[in-house]
């Protein structure tokens, strides 16, 4: 049985012709480093009323076909202006003229729109290759600066620099190069993107001599040191030597790139720089050496660093979902206006994280008096709620220092909440 079931009519239809027509439904999905995969349905039953059996043009334009919804596939309704219903269902839109030009459809359309096609064609014809020319390979092996752009599966981008001693980028052949990943801040933004989406754009620039650059675009793959050692006979000797180093200067892993495009970054706007001596402590975790607070972010309230109201709302929603599922404390919230409660909690947390909220908590005793007298609200329940809040912060990866700051502030409200 296919994805579409062949369903006969519930009641016999008079003067009805049954025609089997094949249709193809596609469900595309992305899986790590794999191209889209198509799922194809089997044939579907189409019923053609007798009134459309005539071969006259008037009748042929009234034909309709319906493909019923099945599973994850949407309903498809066809009202063809074709000679027969089969012609309509088998219609394939004309394909665009294939192109051997590099670049995207978007850039080609803009070239046409703003009359830049002659210049673009000149550049494509003279500068763009799908491999590394011999002089490109020599250039890469002398460079110290590499800028890398990647995006995740949703298209959210990250751009970073990769720096090393001259020759830290290795050319394996005209279609492949590789560069080391040294110890960094532990975020792995680029590698995380590559694990979802292999497309990569690199810009290699010579600032010290020729003030020229090289773009290399392609597909990337992450390779661990241990995996490379299995192929040491086919690896450059310098790669094996670097893998066997001790200390922080040893690469943690490598990125191998299959080249799809390579072209020049012209010299006219690249500054000529003079290299000065600077001590480099490779792989250091010293915040002083790394100048991590150069932009003085610690002076900005956590409320803003977390993302403002949007982040606070996420915290509050996550917190109350946990509270309402907790059998020990959920009864205290059965008759509570949760929208109003969320607003109060949002105000308290925004104030605690340094946000622009004036939270006084003057009504804490009034709000909780009934809960204390009628339901026995006490320290054990207060401590349990505080524990859920702390757990919420930890699950949302808020730093321990800020968590303790909020909990200390919350502790000052204990007597008011318990009406003591």
For the chain, the structural domain boundaries read 16-89, 132-290, 298-417
CATH topology of domain 132-290: Pnp Oxidase; Chain A (2.30.110)
Instruction: Kindly give the confidence (pLDDT) of every residue in the chain, 420 residues in length, as a single tens digit, with 9 standing for 90 and above.
Output: 333 334 444 444 444 444 433 333 322 223 333 433 333 333 333 333 444 444 444 444 443 434 333 333 333 344 445 556 666 666 666 667 777 889 899 999 999 999 999 999 999 999 999 999 999 999 999 999 999 999 999 999 999 999 999 999 999 999 999 999 998 888 999 999 999 999 999 999 999 999 999 999 999 999 999 999 998 888 889 999 999 888 778 899 999 999 999 999 999 999 999 988 888 777 777 888 888 788 888 788 888 988 898 999 999 999 999 999 999 999 999 888 899 888 888 888 888 888 877 666 667 888 888 889 989 999 999 999 999 999 999 999 998 988 998 899 889 889 988 988
- Residue 318, pLDDT score: 94
| Contact (Cβ atoms closer than 8 angstroms) between residue 174 and residue 132 | yes
Which stretches of 225-340 are assigned E, i.e. beta strand?
Answer: 253-265
Q: What is the separation of C-alpha 232 from the centre of its chain, rounded to a whole number of angstroms?
A: 34
Cα–Cα distance for residue pair 369/382, rounded to 1 Å: 14
Give the pLDDT confidence score for residue 86 in this predicted structure: 66
Strand order in the sheet with 199-206: 157-163, 145-151, 199-206, 212-224, 253-265, 176-181, 170-173
Contact (CB, 8 A) for 205 and 273: no
**Rg (the chain; Cα; Å):** 32
Among 389, 395, 398, 392, smallest CA distance to 307 is for 398
Ranges of H-type helices in 148-294: 189-196, 225-229, 237-243, 287-290
CA distances from 384 to 83, 326, 329, 342, 380 (A): 73, 10, 8, 18, 6
**CATH number 1.10.490.10 is the correct assignment for the domain at 298-417:** yes
Q: How many angstroms separate the CA atoms of 242 and 232, rounded?
A: 12
Q: How far apart are the first and last CA of the chain?
A: 71
Instruction: Say how far apart CA 240 and CA 259 lie, in whole Å.
Output: 22
Looking at residue 298, its pLDDT comes to 79
d(CA 38, CA 24): 10
Note if the pTM is more than 0.95: no
In this prediction, residue 353 carries a pLDDT of: 85
Whether the Cβ atoms of residue 23 and residue 89 lie closer than 8 Å to each other: yes
Could you tell me the sign of the dihedral formed by the alpha carbons of 132, 136, 142, 144, in that order?
negative
In the numeric block, the tokens 């915040």 are attached to 287
Nearest to 167 by CA among 271, 216, 237: 237
Taking residue 76's Cβ as centre, other Cβ atoms within 10 Å add up to: 15
Contacts of 224 (CB under 8 A, 6+ apart): 253, 254
pLDDT at 98: 75
Q: Specify the pLDDT at position 239.
A: 92
């Amino acid at each position: 049985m296919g994805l579409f079931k062949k369903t006969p009519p519930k009641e016999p239809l008079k003067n009805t012709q049954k025609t089997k027509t094949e249709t193809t439904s596609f469900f595309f999905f992305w899986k790590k480093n794999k191209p889209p995969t198509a799922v194809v349905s089997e044939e579907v039953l189409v019923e053609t009323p007798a009134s459309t059996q005539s071969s006259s043009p008037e009748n042929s334009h009234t034909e309709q076909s319906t493909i019923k919804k099945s599973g994850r596939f949407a309903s498809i309704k066809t009202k063809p202006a074709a000679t027969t219903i089969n012609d309509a269902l088998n219609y394939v839109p004309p394909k665009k003229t294939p192109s051997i030009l590099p670049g995207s459809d978007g850039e080609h359309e803009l070239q046409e729109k703003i009359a830049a096609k002659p210049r673009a064609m000149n550049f494509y014809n003279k500068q763009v290759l799908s491999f590394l020319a011999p002089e490109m390979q020599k250039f890469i092996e002398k460079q110290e600066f590499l800028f890398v752009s990647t995006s995740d599966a949703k298209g959210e981008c990250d751009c970073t620099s990769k720096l090393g001693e001259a020759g830290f980028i290795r050319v394996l052949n005209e279609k492949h190069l590789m560069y080391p990943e040294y110890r960094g801040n532990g975020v792995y933004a680029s590698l995380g993107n590559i694990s979802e989406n292999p497309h990569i754009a690199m810009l290699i620039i010579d600032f010290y001599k020729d003030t020229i650059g090289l773009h290399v675009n392609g597909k990337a793959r992450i390779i661990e040191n241990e995996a490379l050692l299995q192929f040491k006979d086919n690896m450059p000797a310098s790669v094996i030597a670097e893998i066997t180093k001790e200390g922080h200067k040893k690469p943690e892993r490598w990125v191998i790139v299959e080249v799809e495009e390579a072209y020049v970054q012209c010299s006219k706007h690249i500054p000529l720089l003079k290299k000065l001596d600077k001590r480099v402590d490779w792989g250091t975790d010293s915040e002083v050496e790394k100048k991590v607070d150069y932009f003085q972010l610690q002076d900005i309230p956590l409320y803003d660093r977390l993302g403002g109201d949007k982040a606070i709302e996420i915290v509050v929603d996550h917190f109350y979902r946990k509270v309402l599922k907790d059998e020990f404390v959920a009864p205290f919230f059965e008759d509570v206006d949760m929208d109003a409660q969320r607003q109060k909690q949002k105000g308290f947390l925004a104030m605690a994280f340094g946000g622009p909220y004036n939270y006084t908590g003057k009504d804490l005793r009034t709000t909780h008096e009934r809960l204390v007298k009628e339901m026995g609200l006490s320290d054990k329940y207060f401590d349990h709620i505080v524990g859920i809040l702390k757990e919420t912060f930890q699950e949302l990866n808020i730093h321990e220092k800020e968590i303790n700051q909020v909990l200390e502030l919350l502790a000052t409200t204990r007597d008011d909440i318990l009406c003591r």
